[in-house]
Structure 1
Amino acid sequence: MACEREFQIGVLLTFVIIWTPMFVLTYCPFQDFLDHSVSTLQFNHINAITITIQSLHLLHHPLSHTTTFASTMIQSNPPLMHHYGALVRNSAEPKQAKSFNLQNPSAVDACDLPLIDLGALKSSNERDKRACTAAICKAASEWGFFQVVNHGISHDLLRKMRNEQMKLFEVPFEKKITCGLLNNPYRWGTPTATRSSHFSWSEAFHIPLTMISEAASWGEFSSLREAINEFAPAMLEVSRLLASILAQNLGYPKDAVEKLCDAGTCFLRLNHYPCCPKSKEEIFGLVPHTDSDFLTILYQDQVGGLQLMKDSKWVAVKPNPDALIVNIGDLFQAWSNDEYRSVEHKVVANDKMERYSVAYFLCPFNNTVINGCKGPSVYRKFTFGEYRHQIQEDVKKIGHKIGLSRFKL
């Protein structure tokens, strides 16, 4: 049995060593990748290179060392501490904590986001409809975030999506990085991070929804595909409803956003935040960022950890089991000439409980021109493709997104 195990480990390491460079050459590190992914969770190929280099080094040592390395990979899923332990340990140094300006969550106020009942939009009472519409636009302007209930997505479907998501992340790490699911959309950690303020203690599958119909891409995860096939259209319907209300408030036609975004231009991101051995005030689950879409709809569990910037300070969002969270993206802020706000937000790591969430990103076609409404434009005209490219360039050169300020007049 021992010989058989040694042979299996040798085969695994050989596979990683031989095929990782081919994966790196085949896929562009920024292909179909929004800024929230680029700046926090790079393609797993970079991580695979690290594993390969370590594997090559270990081949010069007795097999017992190789077995230890392999068991480390298996025991930690993903092996965040194994690869980023130095960053995590250094985060506790007072000097670094001060320079990173990380706030202690005990000093962060908890908030109830504006709660909007979308059921009012189906009311026969026109006053109720107008009040609901006004509440959506007010929340988009004052908060950039709000919650919606009676959104039309059943609890059964939400539970089904969560169960499939959890099953996916329970797959062993070495399988997640090599399974080939959907052309390898798996990301973990932050390979470019040089300090803890740039590091995200999390893993994710970033899924282009153009690929839902490609059954061959899902392999053994066909039940996940079935769940997404139900979940994604339901999220698209909610996002289009909200976008149409926000667009009409700006003077655009009701279907303006719908013409720019379809099921194939949007993305779904499955997030998992493992327990972090460091206390949550020292490590991010997801670094502070804004989203580069029109709007995002988030389905999260009840663990908590999401924080947003409100009145120049971080506030913690209280989970609501009946609500979906909606936030405005950069494109809507530019489109509205800053009437709507794309707000910086983050996730803080948790040292006791793991966290799951699913984010739906309402994105337009790459050639969509973003131009401000209502008077002189705050930003110059740009396409969505141009905006994404600029973010990618900034991340490569300086390590983080700059965003809309690049396009301000």
Structure 2
Amino acid sequence: MEESSDPPFMELYKNLFHNHEQGSKNNDNYGVSDDVEEWELPMIDLGRLDQGGWEREDCKREIAEASRIWGFFQVLNHGVSCDILEKMRCEQIKAFKKTFDEKTSNHRDLNFPVGSYRWGTPSATCLKQLAWSEAFHVPLADISNMAGSTNLRTTMEQFSNTVSDLAEMLAEILAEELGHKSSFFKDNCLPSTCYLRMNRYPPCPVSPQVFGLMPHTDSDFLTILHQDQIGGLQLVKDGKWIAVKPNKEALIINIGDLFQAWSNDVYKSVEHRVVANRETERFSTAFFFCPSYDTMIQSCVENSIYRRFSFKEFRQQVQDDVKRLGYKIGLPRFIL
């Protein structure tokens, strides 16, 4: 009998499924609605930044406007070649196709840093807190030390180096549009403090009762995401959930909590989720633009909404809330 590559969701979380069935009999149904409308995110051609003049300024203005109104946008001519994106997808598929035991024991062909492989939600107390997904979450600083597959390591390095430059450029543009030409992001968000996360969302026989990734905001400055054509990413717009239409040539950019705090709520860190698919697996790769843990976060203007805090303090508060409550509180914890 061939060993499965899928994590044992049904076995480990059987009590959650049992409790959900009992709750459903009492009309306690919190499944995902099927009537979520699909929208296209604002599309921005970054090639216009090289044209100078009003084209460049117009492009910068659109980036800032999308970050204020949506908290999400997508970019073309982003500097990451189609070849690198396709290689990244192929290499992560190979990694996830290892057996579950090989992934949890960090097989020699993988050789990720200890603790990189994650699946499910250890802290889940009910089904709506369970993430039907698995991931390799890797600090950029550790990629070069991976002794496993050369192709995987090389591809991860190529992807992360390119998107690091993209994230820094976008952060500087967003700061400039607030009137702050600053070296803050270049000085504090170094490759050694950022992360790469490769995600797989296996087919889910109980979809839409569970999420691939439960609703949340990102605890960084910026996230850069490349997803496949399957879809499943949803976000809140004007108080309702919308589904993001996939575009294989585009990268998706979203504002994180730290940028919302730094911009004093000008740029929005928007709640989003991934919906599990009953029949088809989904892959994505995310880059998280983060500072060092001791970096202090404070508003770039006076009359700040939030008190000054370190990234370490913020992360610790998030982890404590998730452990105690089952979900993240985030920025509201730091309002003055």
Q: Compute the TM-score of the two structures, normalised by the length of structure 1.
A: 0.78
Percent identity reads 49
Task: Tell me if the contact between 1:247 and 1:256 (Cα under 8 Å) persists in the aligned partners.
Answer: no
Matched, 1:80 2:9: yes
Secondary structure of the structure 2 residue equivalent to 1:134: helix
Secondary structure of the structure 2 residue equivalent to 1:194: coil
Task: Tell me if the contact between 2:23 and 2:29 (Cα under 8 Å) persists in the aligned partners.
Answer: no
User: 2: distance between equivalents of 1:229 and 1:75?
Assistant: 29
Task: Say which of 179, 187, 191 aligns to 2:118.
Answer: 187
Secondary structure of the structure 2 residue equivalent to 1:78: coil
User: 1: distance between equivalents of 2:159 and 2:26?
Assistant: 40
Task: Tell me if the contact between 1:117 and 1:132 (Cα under 8 Å) persists in the aligned partners.
Answer: yes
Q: Shift of residue 94 of structure 1?
A: 6.7
Change (3 A) 1:354 1:373: same
Name the structure 1 match of 2:300: 373
User: 2: distance between equivalents of 1:259 and 1:253?
Assistant: 13
Task: Tell me if the contact between 2:5 and 2:98 (Cα under 8 Å) persists in the aligned partners.
Answer: no
Matched, 1:406 2:333: yes
Name the structure 2 match of 1:199: 130
Counterpart code for 1:328: I
Counterpart code for 2:163: M
Secondary structure of the structure 1 residue equivalent to 2:13: helix
Task: Say which of 32, 44, 62 aligns to 1:116.
Answer: 44
Task: Say which of 278, 299, 312 aligns to 1:351.
Answer: 278
Pick the structure with greater CA Rg. Answer: 1
Counterpart code for 2:120: G
Name the structure 2 match of 1:10: none
Task: Say which of 208, 213, 216 aligns to 2:139.
Answer: 208
Question: Which residues of structure 2 form unaligned runs of 5+?
Answer: none
Secondary structure of the structure 2 residue equivalent to 1:182: coil
Secondary structure of the structure 2 residue equivalent to 1:304: coil
Q: Compute the TM-score of the two structures, normalised by the length of structure 2.
A: 0.94
Matched, 1:264 2:195: no
User: 1: distance between equivalents of 2:217 and 2:265?
Assistant: 14
Matched, 1:306 2:237: no
Task: Say which of 138, 161, 164 aligns to 2:88.
Answer: 161
Task: Tell me if the contact between 1:91 and 1:97 (Cα under 8 Å) persists in the aligned partners.
Answer: no
Which structure is higher in helix share? 1
Change (3 A) 1:100 1:121: farther
Task: Say which of 285, 288, 295 aligns to 2:215.
Answer: 288
Task: Tell me if the contact between 2:4 and 2:100 (Cα under 8 Å) persists in the aligned partners.
Answer: no
Secondary structure of the structure 1 residue equivalent to 2:193: coil
- Equivalences for 1:332-347 in 2 at 5 Å? 332-347=259-274
User: 1: distance between equivalents of 2:139 and 2:44?
Assistant: 29
Change (3 A) 1:348 1:88: farther
Counterpart code for 2:78: H
Change (3 A) 1:221 1:283: same
Question: Which residues of structure 1 form unaligned runs of 5+?
Answer: 1-70
Task: Tell me if the contact between 1:308 and 1:345 (Cα under 8 Å) persists in the aligned partners.
Answer: yes
**Cα deviations by residue, 1:133-166 (Å, 9 ceiling, x for unpaired):** 0100000000000000010110001011111100
User: 2: distance between equivalents of 1:250 and 1:108?
Assistant: 34
Matched, 1:245 2:173: yes
Name the structure 1 match of 2:97: 170
Moved more, 178-187 or 374-383: 178-187
Task: Say which of 117, 124, 130 aligns to 2:57.
Answer: 130
Secondary structure of the structure 1 residue equivalent to 2:93: helix
User: 1: distance between equivalents of 2:272 and 2:13?
Assistant: 23
Secondary structure of the structure 1 residue equivalent to 2:241: strand
**Cα deviations by residue, 1:260-294 (Å, 9 ceiling, x for unpaired):** 10111100001000000123x21100000000000
**Cα deviations by residue, 1:41-99 (Å, 9 ceiling, x for unpaired):** xxxxxxxxxxxxxxxxxxxxxxxxxxxxxx69x23621122222443465466748965
Change (3 A) 1:133 1:406: same
User: 2: distance between equivalents of 1:283 and 1:166?
Assistant: 23
Q: Shift of residue 201 of structure 1?
A: 0.3
Matched, 1:392 2:319: yes
Name the structure 2 match of 1:228: 156
Task: Tell me if the contact between 1:100 and 1:197 (Cα under 8 Å) persists in the aligned partners.
Answer: no
Task: Tell me if the contact between 1:203 and 1:272 (Cα under 8 Å) persists in the aligned partners.
Answer: yes
Counterpart code for 1:199: L
Q: How many equivalent residue pairs?
A: 332
Change (3 A) 1:198 1:94: same
**Cα deviations by residue, 1:285-324 (Å, 9 ceiling, x for unpaired):** 0000000000100010000000001111100000011100
Task: Tell me if the contact between 2:112 and 2:138 (Cα under 8 Å) persists in the aligned partners.
Answer: no
User: 2: distance between equivalents of 1:97 and 1:370?
Assistant: 45
